[in-house]
């Protein structure tokens, strides 16, 4: 399969390095898909991840006397982790729950979120020092920057938690619609 490496041996470390980047990046995506319950995507990505890994590791073992192969393998692994994280942040797959604690009027923040198309729930709570308003909203991870800006603009001292969630249903979720209004979740 790699007979051309006898003619161009300098290509071996490059193939190992970039192959390892690909398989580790796919591994990162596979883990995300497994954690989100994506039953079709995870096995498909896993197939290509392992296929690439087998091809790369076979070349490392067939050139076991080359320290450059080992270094390329390790460097590709490290770079693959880094690129996998970048890709994961770029695709921003999944949903998050924002839970905001504020001493200000929580109804105003809920209305502000609603005006931007994010369904929210207001809960009155009792903190250690005083009463607090708790506002919860479920958003797409792609909307994280916008929602964070809305919260911080409303109350710079607000305490908020962000949690990844596996799935969502039956609520008001921000989605693009023809009328620009939020759509009820299924």
Q: State whether residue 121 is helix, strand or coil.
A: strand
Q: State whether residue 124 is helix, strand or coil.
A: strand
Please list the pLDDT of the chain residue by residue as tens digits (186 residues): 666 666 777 888 899 999 999 999 999 999 988 888 888 999 999 999 999 999 999 888 887 788 998 999 999 999 999 999 999 888 887 889 999 999 999 999 999 999 998 989 999 998 788 899 999 999 988 899 999 999 999 999 999 999 988 766 666 666 533 344 454 454
Polymer length in residues for the chain: 186
Phi, psi of 39 (to 5 degrees): -70, -25
Contact 102, 93 (CB under 8 A): no
Contact 160, 98 (CB under 8 A): yes
Q: What is the pTM of this model?
A: 0.67
Q: At what angle do helices 67-91 and 41-62 cross, to 10 degrees?
A: 160
């Amino acid at each position: 399969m790699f007979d051309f490496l006898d003619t161009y041996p300098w290509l071996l470390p490059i193939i190992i390095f970039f192959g390892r980047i690909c398989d580790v990046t796919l591994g990162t995506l596979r883990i995300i898909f497994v954690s989100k319950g994506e039953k079709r995507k995870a096995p498909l990505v896993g197939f290509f991840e392992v296929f690439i890994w087998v091809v790369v590791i076979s070349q490392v073992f067939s050139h076991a006397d080359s320290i450059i192969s080992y270094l390329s393998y390790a460097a590709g692994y490290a770079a693959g982790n880094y690129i996998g994280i970048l890709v994961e942040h770029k695709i921003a797959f999944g949903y998050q729950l924002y839970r905001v604690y504020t001493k200000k009027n929580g109804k105003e923040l809920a209305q502000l979120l609603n005006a931007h198309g994010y369904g929210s729930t207001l809960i009155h709570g009792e903190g250690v020092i005083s009463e607090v308003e708790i506002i919860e909203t479920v958003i797409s991870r792609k909307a994280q920057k916008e929602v964070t800006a809305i919260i911080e603009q409303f109350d710079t001292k607000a305490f908020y938690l962000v949690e990844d969630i596996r799935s969502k249903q039956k609520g008001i979720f921000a989605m693009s619609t023809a009328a620009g209004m939020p759509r009820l979740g299924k």
